[in-house]
Amino acid sequence: MRYILHIGNNEKGSALIISILILLLLTIIGIAATNTSTIEILISGNDKVHKMAFHQAEGGTEVGRELLEQNIACPTGFKNEPIDIGNTRIEKKDFWQNESNATTCSYPSDSNRDIHMPANATSTDAHTNIKLYGVTELSTGTAIQMAAGYEGKGKGAATGGGHIVYDLCSQRRGQASCESCIAIQYRHVIGQEGVCIY
């Protein structure tokens, strides 16, 4: 019994055990920090890919808007079907005549699009699809009337016209199966077309 009590009061080697426990604790903290930083790197990489897809979809709306204005200038649409303009392929000849009865347009896909870029992209490559729908409406007008009072004579002037409101939808299919869709409305005033180029 006395020998067992003597071993319990002996503190030789306790520094080794304490240092091993501290090293074990530091190792666990290091592994946790490494895992956290690895997860943060993956999150920031995914965020970058999604932001790139969003901005590329937004750029698709700008390309679609410009091609829409060029397509409206040609009463029957572009000459060839499909047509390549630079790095952009136009699938439909007269897409400015697309009509929509819905309140919003359906998002484009590889099987339902008017424009896509780059022109040689396959469904597995990163690419942008664009779809347009428009509805013709009357513009609100203004009027001025002047009367000469009791004489019953007067003059009047009024303006008005029409415009086409387009829903322009752009879908970007980017890296790592990332997809971003943007829809904007664009108003074209009838009679403000340029010259037919294509």
What are the C-alpha distances in Å from 165 to residues 34, 109, 140, 191?
A: 53, 22, 13, 14
In a domain, 178, yes or no: yes
| Whole-structure pTM value | 0.70
More confident residue, 19 or 155: 19
92/118 Cα distance (integer angstroms): 16
Confidence of residue 176 (pLDDT cuts 50, 70, 90): confident
What tens digit of pLDDT does each residue of 6-15 get? 555 666 777 8
Q: Is the model's pLDDT at 60 over the cut of 80?
A: yes
Give 78's DSSP letter.
Answer: -
Whether residue 198 is predicted with pLDDT greater than 70 in this model: the reply is yes
The proportion of the chain whose per-residue pLDDT surpasses 90, expressed as a percent, equals: 28
Confidence of residue 101 (pLDDT cuts 50, 70, 90): low
Asked whether residue 5 is assigned to any structural domain, the reply reads no
Q: What is the pLDDT of residue 142?
A: 61
Buried b (16+ CB within 10 A) or exposed e, 11-43: eeeeeeeeeeeeeeeeeeeeeeeeeeeeeeeee
At residue 35, does pLDDT exceed 60?
yes
In a domain, 7, yes or no: no
Q: What are phi and psi of 96, to 5 degrees?
A: -70, -15
Instruction: Look at residue 177 and tell me if it is in a domain.
Output: yes
SS3 84: strand
What is the span of the domain harbouring residue 71?
A: 14-189
Q: Is residue 83, in this structure, part of any structural domain at all? A: yes
70 falls within a domain:
yes
**In a domain? residue 145:** yes
Q: How far is the C-alpha of 5 from the C-alpha of 181, rounded, in Å?
A: 76
Helix (H) or strand (E) holding 69: helix 14-72
d(C-alpha 91, C-alpha 127), whole Å: 14
Per the CB < 8 A criterion, the answer to whether 188 and 137 are in contact is no
Instruction: For residue 167, give every residue at least 6 positions away whose Cβ sits within 8 Å of its Cβ, in sequence order, or none.
Output: 100, 104, 105, 132, 133, 134, 183, 184, 185
Say if 198 falls within a structural domain.
Answer: no
Question: Looking at residues 184-193, what average pLDDT do you find?
Answer: 84
pLDDT at 21 over 90: yes
117-162 pLDDT per residue, tens: 988 888 888 899 999 888 877 777 666 655 555 555 656 666 667 7
Q: Domain count of the chain?
A: 1
